[in-house]
């Protein structure tokens, strides 16, 4: 990159990364961007969304912010108790004449119910987009996440399973959409002296693409290391009463990047919040995740103060979820120490 003196603007590393991600994910187009959020803004604009977009409240606040940043209204929808993903029944009930799209989130690497959401989108003539920031490397209905709906949006932020330091991408099989997104991410420029309309700078730089290529080369090893860590947690927490690891979908691939459990205080004998507090005081950086739901954060809590009434499962999950430190950079011995500490705190023998 330094020898070429080509640092950004569709450089060779960006082009190579896009081609390899298209292959890896099995999609026609991968349009990279400089963050997952920038990619989401491009997708929202590329699909001409307007009015209201239905999104789960139990997600990273960035999902809702992208909708609101584009001047649209996120309409919060409840989740399914079994999967903690968007609940199709609640989603359909939230459709109004102003709805333009459904934005599903594949939370914690588990694909959401794309088939049911597609039926709803088709019958109400809505666009269907997925926030796949948690689901790189995961499968749904036996295929890689990335090719569902009108578009899927990935984040390649440093904290994700696959990363480019900062970055993201829109994946789609729609040729027209992909070419619009390529123009939008570079000031709307389509040719040397032409623009197709509004645009911005959402380009990925060469140094980020190079990081992505290196990480893609070692991605199998990353998955394996994350799986080892996940399995160490499964074994280590199995006997802890009132602490249930959230499971990945049967017969689907996971990236094993998120170790999330549900705390049932009555059985555990310790509240979720006190458990986290003690873990953190022992330098184990567990956290409430997601807490609170987006609807309870600004600006939504002020703009839509009653939203929580329709979100009982979101409130329940936000009150019970705990995210443990995990991922490929954690040593299995450290997982064993974390689990031993939890077993100690909860007072179980094994
Ligand atoms: C990380 C993340 C985003 C935002 O991606 P950035 O690359 O940080 O902009 C959006 N949604 C979810 C679910 C995420 O986890």
User: Is 304 a domain residue?
Assistant: yes
Which atom number of ligand 1 is nearest to the Cα of residue 39?
Answer: 9
Q: Which residues on adjacent β-strands are paired with residue 129?
A: 103, 151
Q: What pLDDT does 98 receive?
A: 98
> Both 236 and 204 in a single domain?
no
Report CA(1)–ligand 1 centroid distance (Å). 27
Instruction: Pick the closest to residue 265 from 282, 241, 289 (CA basis).
Output: 241
Q: What is the DSSP letter of 249?
A: P
Residue 349's pLDDT band (cuts 50, 70, 90): low
> Both 179 and 270 in a single domain?
no
Instruction: Pick the closest to residue 169 from 54, 22, 290 (CA basis).
Output: 22
Report CA(200)–ligand 1 centroid distance (Å). 19
Interval 228-282: pLDDT, tens: 999 999 999 999 999 999 988 889 999 999 999 999 999 999 999 999 999 999 9
> Both 191 and 258 in a single domain?
no
Report CA(167)–ligand 1 centroid distance (Å). 10
Which atom number of ligand 1 is nearest to the Cα of residue 66?
Answer: 10
Instruction: Pick the closest to residue 258 from 105, 47, 44 (CA basis).
Output: 105
> Both 39 and 157 in a single domain?
yes
What pairing do the DSSP bridges indicate for beta strands 143-144 and 139-140?
antiparallel
Q: Rounded to 5 degrees, what are φ and ψ at 298?
A: -70, 150
* Averaged pLDDT for residues 87-113: 98
> Both 207 and 102 in a single domain?
yes
Give the residues surrounding ligand 1 with Cβ less than 6 Å away. 35-37, 59-60, 62-63, 105, 131, 133-134, 155, 157, 168
Q: Which residues on adjacent β-strands are paired with residue 186?
A: 201
Q: Where are the alpha helices (DSSP H) in 160-310?
A: 175-184, 206-217, 219-237, 265-268, 272-281, 300-303
Which residue owns the Cα nearest ligand 1 atom 11?
Answer: 63
Report CA(263)–ligand 1 centroid distance (Å). 25
Pocket test for ligand 1, best of 58, 145, 157 (most atoms within 8 A of CB): 157
Q: What is the DSSP letter of 5?
A: T
CB contact at 8 A, 212 and 167: yes
348 Cβ contact partners less than 8 Å away, ≥ 6 residues apart: 239, 240, 241
pLDDT reading at 350 higher than 70: no
User: Is 2 a domain residue?
Assistant: no
> Both 121 and 266 in a single domain?
no
Instruction: Pick the closest to residue 292 from 278, 275, 273 (CA basis).
Output: 273
Q: What pLDDT does 348 receive?
A: 75
User: Is 330 a domain residue?
Assistant: yes
Interval 278-330: pLDDT, tens: 999 999 999 999 999 999 999 999 999 999 999 999 999 999 999 999 988 89
Which atom number of ligand 1 is nearest to the Cα of residue 168?
Answer: 7
| Rg, C-alpha atoms of the chain | 21
Q: CA–CA separation, 197 vs 290, rounded Å?
A: 37
Q: What is the DSSP letter of 51?
A: S
pLDDT reading at 143 higher than 70: yes
> Both 41 and 138 in a single domain?
yes
| Domain end (from 183, 217, 251) | 217
> Both 193 and 250 in a single domain?
no
Q: Rounded to 5 degrees, what are φ and ψ at 144?
A: -65, 135
| Domain end (from 217, 235, 250) | 217
* Averaged pLDDT for residues 189-218: 96
Interval 149-158: pLDDT, tens: 999 999 999 9
Instruction: Read off the tokens for 191.
Output: 């040719």
Which atom number of ligand 1 is nearest to the Cα of residue 166?
Answer: 7
User: Is 4 a domain residue?
Assistant: no
CB contact at 8 A, 57 and 107: no
CB contact at 8 A, 76 and 293: yes
User: Is 231 a domain residue?
Assistant: yes
Q: pLDDT exceeding 70 applies to what percent of the chain?
A: 99
| Domain end (from 198, 217, 236) | 217
Instruction: Read off the tokens for 200.
Output: 């911005």
- Residue 32, judged by CB atoms within 10 A of its CB (0-12, 13-18, 19+), counts as buried
Q: What is the DSSP letter of 232?
A: H
Q: What pLDDT does 327 receive?
A: 87
Domain count, the chain: 2
> Both 231 and 292 in a single domain?
yes
3-class SS at 185? coil
User: Is 1 a domain residue?
Assistant: no
User: Is 263 a domain residue?
Assistant: yes
User: Is 6 a domain residue?
Assistant: no
CATH of the domain at 122: 3.40.640.10
> Both 43 and 156 in a single domain?
yes
> Both 204 and 277 in a single domain?
no
158 Cβ contact partners less than 8 Å away, ≥ 6 residues apart: 165, 166
CB contact at 8 A, 194 and 211: no
Interval 21-67: pLDDT, tens: 999 999 999 999 999 999 999 999 999 999 999 999 999 999 999 99
CATH of the domain at 319: 3.90.1150.10
> Both 29 and 50 in a single domain?
yes
Which range of residues forms the domain containing residue 291? Answer: 219-345
* Averaged pLDDT for residues 79-94: 98
Which residue owns the Cα nearest ligand 1 atom 5?
Answer: 36
Q: What pLDDT does 248 receive?
A: 86
Instruction: Read off the tokens for 272.
Output: 């979720």
Mean pLDDT of the chain: 97
Report CA(156)–ligand 1 centroid distance (Å). 8
């Amino acid at each position: 990159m330094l020898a070429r003196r080509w640092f950004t603007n569709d450089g060779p590393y960006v082009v190579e990364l896009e081609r390899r991600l298209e292959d890896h994910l099995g999609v026609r187009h991968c349009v990279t961007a400089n963050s997952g959020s920038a990619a989401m803004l491009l997708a929202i604009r590329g699909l001409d969304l307007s009015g209201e977009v239905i999104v789960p409240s139990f997600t990273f606040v960035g999902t809702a912010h992208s909708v609101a940043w584009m001047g649209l209204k996120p309409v919060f929808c409840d989740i399914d108790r079994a999967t903690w993903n968007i609940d199709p029944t609640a989603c359909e009930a939230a459709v109004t004449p102003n709805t333009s799209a459904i934005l599903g989130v594949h939370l914690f690497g588990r694909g959401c119910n794309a088939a049911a959401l597609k039926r709803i989108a088709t019958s109400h003539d809505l666009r269907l987009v997925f926030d796949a920031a948690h689901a790189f490397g995961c499968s749904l209905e036996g295929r890689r996440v990335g090719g569902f709906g009108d578009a899927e949006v990935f984040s390649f932020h440093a904290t994700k399973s696959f990363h480019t330091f900062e970055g993201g991408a829109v994946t789609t099989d729609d040729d027209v959409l992909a070419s619009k997104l390529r123009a939008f991410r570079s000031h709307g420029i389509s040719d040397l002296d032409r623009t197709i309309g509004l645009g911005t700078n959402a380009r990925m730089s060469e140094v980020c693409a190079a990081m992505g290529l290196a990480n893609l080369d070692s991605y199998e090893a990353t998955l394996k290391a994350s799986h080892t860590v996940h399995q160490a947690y499964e074994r280590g927490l199995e006997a802890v009463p009132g602490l249930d690891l959230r499971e990945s979908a049967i017969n689907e691939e996971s990236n094993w990047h998120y170790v999330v459990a549900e705390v049932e205080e009555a059985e555990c004998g310790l509240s979720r919040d006190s458990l986290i507090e003690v873990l953190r005081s022992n330098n184990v950086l567990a956290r409430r995740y997601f807490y609170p739901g987006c609807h309870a954060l600004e600006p939504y809590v002020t703009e839509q103060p009653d939203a929580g009434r329709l979100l009982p499962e979101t409130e329940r999950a936000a009150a019970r979820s705990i995210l443990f430190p995990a991922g490929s950079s954690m040593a299995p011995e450290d997982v064993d120490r974390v689990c031993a500490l939890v077993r100690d705190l909860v007072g179980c023998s094994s």
